[in-house]
């Protein structure tokens, strides 16, 4: 078998050599790397250690400024909003950092039935969500994958007034190629799964039992998914299990592998940090805790290294941290989240959550905050439905053409949220944000966007191009 056809395998020696060879950052070399990144071609592994070692305030400011420039050039000021939908916390794995692990007897276990899933969707629709990430513990009720497929159909079939979920992304246990083909047939958006940590020894120490203890099997999951026809995949690491610098370099290797083998890298990379989880001492004392300064740095570096890949920030992070990090290259954020089955009908910190939340704000509060900070919140799902996914998305993103679709769609979707869900104070902030978003556009796209917004104001829904 040709090496290009093999599942991903991190080159641990290359990563370690790169980290060990990184001395104090040379200012000239750093400026050279930042200039390269601003040309929107991405960075290679050798470029990252000098940025990781930055301590000088002026050079750090240069790193953050470059990350903002790159994000603005490709994504503009748009921030896509979504929420996780936990349908089950049944799990056969023993992951030391997770409340869902099999040995945690204090956790109430639950797998929602179709009626309960529909009720959770209605709670999300009342908030105004259009895009949802379906999440399940890595064990299913007796019917196995059919349980997940039925849940997907339930989500798409549920309506409430003008509300509907227009795109469902999925975070579930690894599957075989044949099972991934079944999943692809359900019209999902992105298949998302995290390696959690890339060094084998750490992975083995953190995952004691269950299917997830298979390090090699986990590494190959995205190869199987993309072989099955899922061209939009999302990867990530759980920062705090190992040296964040190693994890970032491994994520870059993983992205480059997928691009080389399938012609398209991951659609998204997620950057969760470990947060306290019920019954997990590891989660309360992470082996390699990532402080806020390092977190800002790693997000900025990822933005420069993989400029066309979306970066996802969850509600694990506190409000203040989210505000800081969004400015450094984040393109998607969760809002109004709950992390346990049935959670949207219960208090934010009800028992049974997978981990603690840092940001407890409602969706409309996050929208108001983003608009007030000069961002354009987006509920758009048009790329999935128009077939602009995988390599096709990248072919539009690289020359900068994707903004001609995304910006008008973001404005129309935000106007829809304003008409149907926003309280008065939030609506006023949205009005100002939409006006500013139109003012900043070129004449052609501006005319199209203004017409789309006007159609929504007149009562039309799901307007996109």
193-231 pLDDT per residue, tens: 999 999 999 999 999 999 999 999 999 999 999 999 999
Burial of 119 (0-12, 13-18, 19+ CB in 10 A): middle
Instruction: State residue 412's pLDDT score.
Output: 97
Q: With DSSP H G I counted as helix, E B as strand and the rest as coil, what are the percentages for the chain, rounded to 5?
A: 50, 10, 40
Instruction: Give the end-to-end CA distance of the chain in Å, rounded to a whole number.
Output: 42
Side-chain half-sphere CA neighbours of 434 within 13 A? 27
Instruction: State residue 349's pLDDT score.
Output: 58
Q: How far apart are CA 215 and CA 212, in angstroms?
A: 7
Instruction: State residue 385's pLDDT score.
Output: 74
CB 438 within 8 A of CB 414: no
Q: How far apart are CA 409 and CA 157, in angstroms?
A: 23
Kind of pairing between the strands at 163-164 and 159-160: antiparallel
CB 178 within 8 A of CB 132: no
Q: How far apart are CA 23 and CA 298, in angstroms?
A: 18
Instruction: State residue 417's pLDDT score.
Output: 98
Residues 228-258 have pLDDT tens digits of: 999 999 999 999 999 999 999 999 999 999 9
For CA atoms 176, 177, 179, 184, the dihedral sign is positive
- Concatenate the DSSP letters of all residues of 112-166 into one string: --HHHHHHHHHHHHHHT--EEEEEE-S---TTTHHHHHHHHHHHHH-EETTEE--
Residue 447: CB partners within 8 Å, gap ≥ 6?
none
CB 40 within 8 A of CB 9: no
Task: For the chain, give the number of residues.
Answer: 465
Query: Which residue ranges in the chain fall short of pLDDT 50?
Result: 1-2
Residue 359: CB partners within 8 Å, gap ≥ 6?
315, 317, 318, 319, 322, 335, 337, 366
Instruction: Please give, one letter per residue, the 3-state secondary structure of 136-150.
Output: ECCCCCCCCHHHHHH
Question: Strand (E) positions, 130-272?
Answer: 131-136, 159-160, 163-164, 167-171, 191-192, 233-236, 268-270
Q: How far is CA 190 from CA 73, 194, 303, in A?
A: 23, 13, 19
Instruction: State residue 404's pLDDT score.
Output: 72
Instruction: State residue 458's pLDDT score.
Output: 97
pTM: 0.94
Instruction: State residue 347's pLDDT score.
Output: 65
């Amino acid at each position: 078998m040709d090496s290009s056809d093999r599942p991903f395998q991190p080159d641990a020696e290359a990563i370690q050599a790169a980290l060990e060879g990184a001395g104090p950052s040379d200012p000239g070399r750093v400026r050279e790397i930042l200039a390269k990144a601003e040309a929107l071609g991405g960075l290679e592994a050798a470029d990252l250690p000098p940025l990781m070692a930055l301590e000088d305030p002026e050079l750090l400011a240069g790193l953050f400024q470059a990350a903002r420039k790159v994000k603005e050039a490709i994504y503009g000021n748009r921030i896509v909003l979504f929420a996780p939908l936990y349908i089950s916390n049944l799990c056969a794995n023993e992951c030391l950092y997770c409340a869902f692990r099999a040995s945690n007897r204090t956790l109430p276990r639950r797998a929602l039935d179709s009626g309960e899933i529909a009720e959770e969707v209605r709670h999300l629709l009342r908030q105004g969500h259009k895009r949802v990430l379906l999440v399940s513990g890595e064990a299913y009720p007796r019917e196995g994958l059919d349980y997940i497929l039925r849940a997907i159909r339930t989500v798409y079939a549920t309506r409430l007034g003008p509300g509907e979920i227009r795109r469902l992304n999925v975070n579930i246990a690894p599957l075989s190629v044949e099972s991934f083909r079944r999943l692809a047939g359900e019209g999902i958006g992105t298949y998302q799964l995290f390696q959690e940590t890339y060094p084998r020894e750490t992975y083995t120490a953190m995952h004691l039992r269950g299917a997830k203890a298979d390090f090699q099997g986990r590494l190959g999951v995205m190869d199987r998914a993309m072989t099955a026809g899922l061209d939009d995949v999302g990867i990530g690491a759980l920062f705090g299990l190992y040296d964040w610098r190693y994890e970032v370099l491994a994520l870059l290797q993983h992205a480059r592998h997928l691009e080389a083998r399938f012609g398209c890298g991951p659609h998204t990379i997620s950057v969760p940090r470990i947060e306290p989880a019920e019954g997990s001492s590891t989660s309360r004392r992470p082996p390699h805790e990532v402080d806020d300064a390092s977190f800002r740095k790693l997000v900025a570096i990822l933005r420069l290294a993989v400029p066309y890949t979306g970066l996802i920030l969850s509600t694990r992070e506190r409000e203040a941290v989210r505000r800081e990090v969004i400015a450094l290259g984040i393109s998607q954020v969760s809002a109004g989240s709950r992390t346990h089955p049935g959670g949207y009908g219960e208090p934010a910190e009800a028992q049974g959550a997978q981990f603690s939340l840092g940001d407890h704000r409602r969706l409309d509060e996050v929208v108001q905050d983003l608009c007030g900070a000069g961002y354009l919140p987006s509920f758009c799902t048009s790329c999935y439905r128009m077939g602009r996914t995988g390599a096709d998305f990248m072919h539009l993103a690289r020359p900068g053409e994707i903004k001609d679709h995304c910006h008008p769609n973001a404005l129309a979707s935000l106007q829809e949220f304003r008409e149907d869900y926003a309280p008065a104070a939030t609506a006023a902030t949205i009005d100002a944000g939409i006006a500013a978003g139109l003012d900043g556009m070129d004449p052609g796209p501006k005319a199209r966007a203004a017409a789309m917004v006007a159609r929504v104001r007149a009562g039309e829904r799901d307007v996109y191009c």
